[in-house]
DNA sequence: CTAAGATGGACAACGTCGTTGTCGGAAATA
DNA sequence: TATTTCCGACAACGACGTTGTCCATCTTAG
């Protein structure tokens, strides 16, 4: 029973998971702003990942993000105004418009990757490579294999109607 | 340099942190729904924690949550309609209205605590007590000491104006 | 004690975001 | 060829958070 003693309250784990995540994302965006990308929202990175290197359509993006195609369309509008993506007609299908990252958008993705490496390096400096690996390994065991269900938007959710 | 080889991409860590957090919160709410508390939003727990055992006022709640007092007021309206909190006049200050958890609200908090313990126990079954403790310890080192800056609402953030 | 300032709560207007509903044009299928 | 499916856009709506305003009340300075 001694292994049960002094166990932290159960809610600490999820809370710390969130705090750590949030901390990293906040630092990412602070750094991103310094390197030429202000105006990026916390989850625009997810959107860019969902767009992918070859581009997508609004409807497909909506599916990947777990939102309606209209919502995806509005997100694209906003990102287009900010210069991160652009739309081009699909020569094969007159209905579709291919949404692609612009150079600026691709740059934000590259910068994000750099910064994530730096952040991980900081964790390694504090905890050591071994524990960071253990951390990643443990989290990998506790989460779905495919780290690509990025249906984050609106996850905090509405209170529904009435 | 061999310790650098095969390191996962830097973005995996934050992503897994979020996935794990989200997974736990989703399970919490699924279970909460089964135990008499549907209609709870992912972060209502944060709000309840911010209200605390002795109650608060809307303005104070807004400060703790990092939102305007009006937004806090609307949140309270919603929670009041759902029967989780109620408002009572403060005998000492005619301006203030004390927001308190109802029995139903307190019950949701107690149930949440139970479920969090069960979820942690599940992690222990998979990873072992030792690694879960290490996980908690590492995360504690990488996050602020006070685990009570619950200014979560709207964190995913708007795209500001125009 | 009184006048000035600060604070709490409510109301209203606004903007953002995501939703559903609808529609016309284009592609896929029967 | 005719029907069905799919894409993208427009419109209306509800939820949520914001600022601005207002009055009532508490606090503080003089």
| Chain segment A62-108, per-residue pLDDT in tens | 999 999 999 999 999 999 999 999 999 999 999 999 999 999 999 99
Of B139, B158, B43, B26, the closest CA to residue A21 belongs to: B139
* A6 at B interface, C-beta within 8 A: no
Q: What is the mean pLDDT of residues A38-59?
A: 91
User: In percent, how much of chain B has pLDDT > 90?
Assistant: 77
Contact A120, A127 (CB under 8 A): no
Q: What is the pLDDT of residues A141-161, one digit of tens each?
A: 999 887 666 666 667 767 765
For an interface test with A, the pick among B1, B6, B19, B110 (most A C-beta atoms closer than 10 Å) comes out as B19
pTM to 2 decimals? 0.88
- Tell me which residue in B14, B123, B153 faces A142 most closely, judged by beta carbons: B123
How distant is C1' of D16 from CA of A130, in Å?
A: 43
Which class for A17: exposed (0-12), middle (13-18), buried (19 or more C-beta within 10 A)? buried
Chain A partners of B129 at a C-beta cutoff of 8 Å? 3, 7
Q: What is the pLDDT of residues B71-86, one digit of tens each?
A: 999 999 999 999 999 9
Minimum-distance residue to D24 (CA–C1')? B95
Judge whether residue A130 contacts strand D, using its CB and a 7 Å cut-off.
Answer: no
pLDDT at position B151, please? Answer: 67
pLDDT at position A147, please? Answer: 66
- pLDDT grade for B157, boundaries at 50, 70 and 90: low
| Joined tokens for residue A63 | 């599916």
- pLDDT grade for B161, boundaries at 50, 70 and 90: low
pLDDT at position B7, please? Answer: 84
Q: What is the mean pLDDT of residues B93-117?
A: 96
Contact positions of strand C to protein Cβ (< 7 A): 7-12, 15-21, 24-28
- Tell me which residue in B3, B16, B157 faces A139 most closely, judged by beta carbons: B16
Neighbour-count burial for B129-139, b at 16+ CB within 10 Å, e otherwise: eebbbbbbebb
Q: Which nucleotide is nearest to B159 (CA to C1')?
A: C16
DSSP track, A88-147? EEETTEEEEEEEEE-HHHHHHHHHHHHHHHHHHHHHHHHH-HHHHHHHHHHHHHHS-S-T
What is the C-alpha separation between A121 and A115, in angstroms, rounded? 10
Q: What share of chain A is helix, strand, coil (3-state, %, to 5)?
A: 55, 10, 35
* A33 at B interface, C-beta within 8 A: no
pLDDT at position B76, please? Answer: 96
| Joined tokens for residue B40 | 């709870």
Q: Is the pLDDT of residue A42 over 90?
A: no
- pLDDT grade for B160, boundaries at 50, 70 and 90: low
Chain-wide mean pLDDT for chain B? 90
């Amino acid at each position: 029973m001694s292994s049960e003693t002094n166990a932290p309250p159960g809610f600490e784990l999820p809370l710390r998971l969130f705090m750590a995540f949030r901390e990293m994302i906040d630092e990412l965006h602070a750094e991103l702003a310094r390197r030429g990308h202000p105006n990026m929202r916390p989850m625009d990175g997810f959107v860019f990942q969902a767009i992918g290197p070859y581009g997508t359509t609004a409807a497909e993006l909506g599916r990947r993000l777990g939102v309606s195609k209209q919502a995806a369309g509005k997100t694209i509008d906003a990102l287009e105004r900010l210069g991160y993506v652009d739309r081009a007609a699909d020569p094969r299908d007159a209905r579709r418009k291919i949404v692609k990252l612009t150079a600026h958008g691709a740059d934000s993705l590259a910068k994000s990757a750099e910064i994530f490496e730096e952040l991980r390096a900081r964790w390694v400096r504090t905890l050591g490579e071994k524990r960071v690996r253990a951390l990643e390994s443990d989290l990998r065991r506790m989460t779905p294999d495919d780290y690509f269900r990025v249906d984050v938007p609106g996850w905090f959710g509405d209170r529904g109607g009435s």
